[in-house]
Amino acid sequence: LLCTGDELLNGATLNTHARALGEAFKQMGVTLTRETSIRDDRETMAKFIAEAIGRVDVLVISGGLGPTRDDVTREAVAQALGRELVVHRAFERILAKRYESVGRAFTEDRRRQAVLVEDAKLIRNPVGSAPGQRIQTEGATIYLLPGPPREFNGILEDSLLEEWQSQVETRVHEQLHMIAGIGESEVERALEGVTFADGTILGFRASPFGLELRLTSEQPDDLEAGSAILYDVFGDAIYADQRKTLPEAVTELLLKRRATVATAESCTGGLVAKFLTDQAGSSAYFLGSIVAYHNEVKERLLGVPAEIFPVHGAVSAPCAEAMAAGAKERLGSDYALSLTGIAGPGGGTDTKPVGLVFIGLATPDGVQSQEFRLPGNRDLVRTFAAMRAFDMLRKALK
Amino acid sequence: LLCTGDELLNGATLNTHARALGEAFKQMGVTLTRETSIRDDRETMAKFIAEAIGRVDVLVISGGLGPTRDDVTREAVAQALGRELVVHRAFERILAKRYESVGRAFTEDRRRQAVLVEDAKLIRNPVGSAPGQRIQTEGATIYLLPGPPREFNGILEDSLLEEWQSQVETRVHEQLHMIAGIGESEVERALEGVTFADGTILGFRASPFGLELRLTSEQPDDLEAGSAILYDVFGDAIYADQRKTLPEAVTELLLKRRATVATAESCTGGLVAKFLTDQAGSSAYFLGSIVAYHNEVKERLLGVPAEIFPVHGAVSAPCAEAMAAGAKERLGSDYALSLTGIAGPGGGTDTKPVGLVFIGLATPDGVQSQEFRLPGNRDLVRTFAAMRAFDMLRKALK
């Protein structure tokens, strides 16, 4: 992998291509042997490319395909291979129309995006204007991909992964399971002593939006057996069998049940509502939310009884339940989630420490609440709290 | 920069060293010319190192200094330079004591961390057990640093930055300016034809949370002159002279003015409230928010007159203004922001396309609104809308 761009070497940009490509390759049983980042200098690039194609089967080059004058990858590759540059006339017309349709001039610079290395095949870019290129040489296949991660990954997913997979002899199968409501260390503990068939590998990726367990094996039967083991261990905590965030899984359930939801948020300050409206079409299940930061707002807009505050405090099970009930009633939804807690870093006490969060859930059958002690800084406490709320709603909807 | 480690190439780890070192170098006016990541293979490493030291003045190598058998950087460097490996006896004793003090055995493997390349100087590691090494060859200086980012950056900050800075003749000064309310392409257009003193460089980093302009120069006077030019060009759009997001700048203003704010959100679904509560202590200025996704909720909780919907529609200036006024009144705040728009991908029409957003602002002096046409996908439209709202509030507070 050759990454080009001054921005990768002057501290401006974090290079994510090596990880993305390395992960994709690993899933196919292919090894990414080397990654190099160099600056936008045509001579340096040409020299590097000429050397590299003698060493490798596949050379992926990112960056330098855009319209500006420092985008010199096309020229450097042509120079390294001793080939000409040619204009792809059909794509040039497509590009011209695209710029025209958004009212921008199709300048000489922008036209450069239709320039291909001689005998290169154009690779469709599903998310940007500069296409990729595939170039066959005697020893190696060279892929030119745009530098922006969205476009680099977009082309990988749109066509290259499938193309590469078809060229790899052994097919590695994979099965994902997504887990919610259990912390990372608990998952690790639960997996201690669990063994799988030889050749079955369990990968593990943690994010606040759901833990991903990835089983891979060349044997589909072993994969199925491994999957059954994970269901034995984690049961109800598995919320999906494909890559999906917990909020995505919950909004799918809401749509399926034709149920509506509202939220009443204190410590999360609108974060749960934000997640609920991340997907298009959220108006089908989301009615609204009351972010009640001050107690007076909790009283006035959610109808939390004033006597709760001196007796139990705003961070308490009774307050969470009153908030959930109030949101359900005032917003007229089938379900309502409420969150009240101490996100920190200030505001904690011995009895109510930072990370203490009460989550309320109002359903057609009644109101319940749960207490959580969540780890991490303000940002993590808020995110974890939102995910625990989604998990409560998920279980109720199931 | 040579980064070693299988984990950098199999998708397990994101390599952050190039950005960290590149940024540090840039501030000194030094150029990081190349970064290469290779696997933990001694022969490959030795070959690469032998070649690289003929090309560069400084070679920084990360990773492979730990206690395990795949930590082979010491061996590879010794092989490349034709030097022996020697045990640093004094450091070996320190290490032995450290392991002893935490009750862990000082095994043969752990002892390897005290092995230095012949004639190398040990560099203190302030956060881990494996020290760094400095090796002088005829053509180049080689630095060996541990791979974990915390240790890599820890050694940089603890001693190397100062050491390098003292070797660089000129000191590069920098001045940041943060810009809001103007799109990236508008900023580029505004800067066309703008020239600065020789040696003054303008860098540019765009993010939805604020555009960062970075002026660097060896001459403080030129920097000041460049700064004045940017204020001429962008004026009121500059919201800070140091790295800071727009929401951070606005919450600082709110605290300074002792003013409170509330929000009424439709298309952003709680995102503005989320940003307002990202900082600790937000209860000093944030009262709450009503996320009114359905028109009925806009009517019931925000008091938007029902006749607005058939006449103007929910995505309109009158609706935005009624929402802002309603939020200010019902939540009892000094200021209130409202957002209503079409985030997409669905829901757009010819007259009200995706990206159309009305933002209302209620202040102690009255209610106003502005219309925006924002580019990008759902996520970007929502984020840009939130930032435009923050910018309106910022200008009102100023």
Task: Please provide the DSSP assignment of B293-330 as one string.
Answer: -SHHHHHHHH---TTHHHHT-SSSHHHHHHHHHHHHHH
What is the Cα–Cα distance from A117 to A79, expressed in whole angstroms? Answer: 10
Mean pLDDT, rounded, of chain B: 92
Q: Are B117 and B78 in contact (CB under 8 A)?
A: yes
Q: Which helix (H) or strand (E) holds B211?
A: strand B211-217
- Determine the residue among A8, A10, A156, A161 to mutate to test chain B binding: the one whose Cβ has the most chain B Cβ atoms within 10 Å: A10
Average pLDDT over residues A316-336: 97
Q: Do B36 and A39 touch (CB under 8 A)?
A: no
What is the Cα–Cα distance from A217 to A197, expressed in whole angstroms? Answer: 9
Distance from CA of B21 to the nearest CA of A (A): 7
Average pLDDT over residues A267-284: 94
What is the Cα–Cα distance from A178 to A224, expressed in whole angstroms? Answer: 16
What is the Cα–Cα distance from B189 to A152, expressed in whole angstroms? Answer: 27
Q: Are B2 and B36 in contact (CB under 8 A)?
A: yes
Mean pLDDT, rounded, of chain A: 92
Residue A170 forms contact with B (CB below 8 Å): no
Chain B residues touching residue A32 (CB < 8 angstroms): 9-10
- Asked whether the predicted pLDDT for residue A287 surpasses 90, the reply is yes
Average pLDDT over residues B117-136: 94
Residues in B 316-335 with any Cβ partner in A closer than 8 A? 330-332
DSSP letters of B87-134? E-HHHHHHHHHHHHHTT----HHHHGGGEEETTPEEE--SSSSSPEEE
Residue B18 forms contact with A (CB below 8 Å): yes
Q: Compare CB distances from B15 to A18, A270, A271 and report the shortest one's residue.
A: A18
Average pLDDT over residues A95-117: 89
Of residues A331 and B181, the one with the higher pLDDT is A331
Long-range contacts from B166-171, C-beta under 8 angstroms, 24+ separation: B168/B28, B168/B29, B168/B30, B170/B29, B170/B218, B171/B28, B171/B29, B171/B218
Q: How far apart are the first and last CA of chain B?
A: 46
> How much of chain B exceeds pLDDT 90, in percent?
72
Of residues B173 and A123, the one with the higher pLDDT is A123
pLDDT of residue A170: 67
DSSP letters of B358-380? EEEEEETTEEEEEEEE--SSHHH
Distance from CA of B105 to the nearest CA of A (A): 24
Whole-number Cα distances in Å, A188 to A142, A182, A230, B316, B367: 41, 10, 12, 52, 55
- For A300-310, the pLDDT digits (tens) are 999 999 999 99
Q: Which tokens go with B337? A: 């922001």
Chain A residues touching residue B247 (CB < 8 angstroms): none
Closest to A168 (Cα-Cα) out of A28, A58, A33: A28
In 3-state terms chain A splits into helix, strand, coil percentages (rounded to 5) of 40, 20, 35
- Asked whether the predicted pLDDT for residue A171 surpasses 80, the reply is no
Among chain B residues, the shortest Cα distance to A40 is held by B33
Q: Which tokens go with B393? A: 């509030």
Chain B residues touching residue A281 (CB < 8 angstroms): 346
What is the Cα–Cα distance from B104 to A249, expressed in whole angstroms? Answer: 45
Distance from CA of B243 to the nearest CA of A (A): 14
Average pLDDT over residues A283-289: 95
- For A119-143, the pLDDT digits (tens) are 999 999 998 888 999 999 998 999 9
Among chain B residues, the shortest Cα distance to A30 is held by B10
What's the angle, vertex CA B397, arms to CA B392 and CA B398, rounded to 5?
A: 100
* Residues contacting residue B47 through CB under 8 Å, at least 6 positions apart: B80
- Asked whether the predicted pLDDT for residue B298 surpasses 80, the reply is yes
pLDDT of residue B156: 94
Phi-psi region of A316 (alpha: psi -120 to 50; beta: other; left: phi over 0): beta
Q: Which helix (H) or strand (E) holds B250?
A: helix B246-257
- For A366-386, the pLDDT digits (tens) are 999 999 999 888 988 999 999
- For A339-371, the pLDDT digits (tens) are 999 998 888 999 999 999 999 999 999 999 999
Average pLDDT over residues A36-64: 95
What's the angle, vertex CA A163, arms to CA A161 and CA A166, rounded to 5?
A: 105
* Residue A368: strand pairing partners: A361
- Chains A–B, number of C-beta pairs less than 8 Å apart: 221
What is the Cα–Cα distance from A222 to B304, expressed in whole angstroms? Answer: 60
- Asked whether the predicted pLDDT for residue B183 surpasses 80, the reply is no
Burial of B266 (0-12, 13-18, 19+ CB in 10 A): buried
Phi-psi region of A335 (alpha: psi -120 to 50; beta: other; left: phi over 0): beta
Average pLDDT over residues B76-95: 96
Average pLDDT over residues A21-36: 90
- Asked whether the predicted pLDDT for residue B170 surpasses 70, the reply is no
- For B34-75, the pLDDT digits (tens) are 999 999 999 999 999 999 998 999 999 999 998 888 899 999
Q: Which tokens go with B338? A: 């409202």
- Asked whether the predicted pLDDT for residue B243 surpasses 70, the reply is yes
> What's phi and psi for B245, nearest 5 deg?
-80, 160
Distance from CA of B24 to the nearest CA of A (A): 8
Chain B residues touching residue A265 (CB < 8 angstroms): 270, 273
Q: Which residues of A105-144 are buried (b: 16+ CB within 10 A; e: fewer)?
A: eeeeebebbbbbbeebeebebeebbbbbbbbebeebbbbb
> How much of chain A exceeds pLDDT 70, in percent?
100
Look up residue B186 and give its DSSP letter.
H
Q: Do A293 and B282 touch (CB under 8 A)?
A: yes
Average pLDDT over residues B250-256: 96
pLDDT of residue B70: 82
What is the Cα–Cα distance from B209 to B224, expressed in whole angstroms? Answer: 25
Give this prediction's pTM.
0.73
Q: Helical H runs in chain A?
A: 17-28, 42-52, 73-81, 89-101, 108-111, 149-155, 161-167, 184-191, 220-234, 246-257, 271-276, 295-302, 308-311, 317-331, 378-397
Closest to B348 (Cα-Cα) out of B313, B317, B297, B305: B313
Residue A144 forms contact with B (CB below 8 Å): no
Residue A242 forms contact with B (CB below 8 Å): no
Does residue A275 sit in helix, strand or coil? helix
What is the Cα–Cα distance from A318 to B245, expressed in whole angstroms? Answer: 37
What is the Cα–Cα distance from B223 to B197, expressed in whole angstroms? Answer: 9
What is the Cα–Cα distance from B288 to B24, expressed in whole angstroms? Answer: 42
Residue A25 forms contact with B (CB below 8 Å): yes
Closest to B297 (Cα-Cα) out of A295, A283, A267: A283
When pLDDT is cut at 50, 70 and 90, the band that residue B268 belongs to is very high
Residues in A 102-131 with any Cβ partner in B closer than 8 A? none
Burial of A378 (0-12, 13-18, 19+ CB in 10 A): buried
Q: Are B22 and A8 in contact (CB under 8 A)?
A: yes
Closest to B128 (Cα-Cα) out of B83, B173, B63, B80: B63
Q: Do A286 and B293 touch (CB under 8 A)?
A: yes
When pLDDT is cut at 50, 70 and 90, the band that residue A204 belongs to is confident
Q: Which tokens go with B133? A: 């090494």
What's the angle, vertex CA B275, arms to CA B273 and CA B277, rounded to 5?
A: 70
DSSP letters of A331-366? HT-SEEEEEEE--SSS---SSS-TTEEEEEEEETTE
Cα Rg of chain A, angstroms: 27
Q: Helical H runs in B29-61?
A: 42-52
The amino acid sitting at B271 is: L
Residues in A 366-395 with any Cβ partner in B closer than 8 A? 378-379
Residue B276 forms contact with A (CB below 8 Å): yes
Q: Which tokens go with A129? A: 């204007």
Q: Compare CB distances from A345 to B39, B280, B379 and report the shortest one's residue.
A: B280
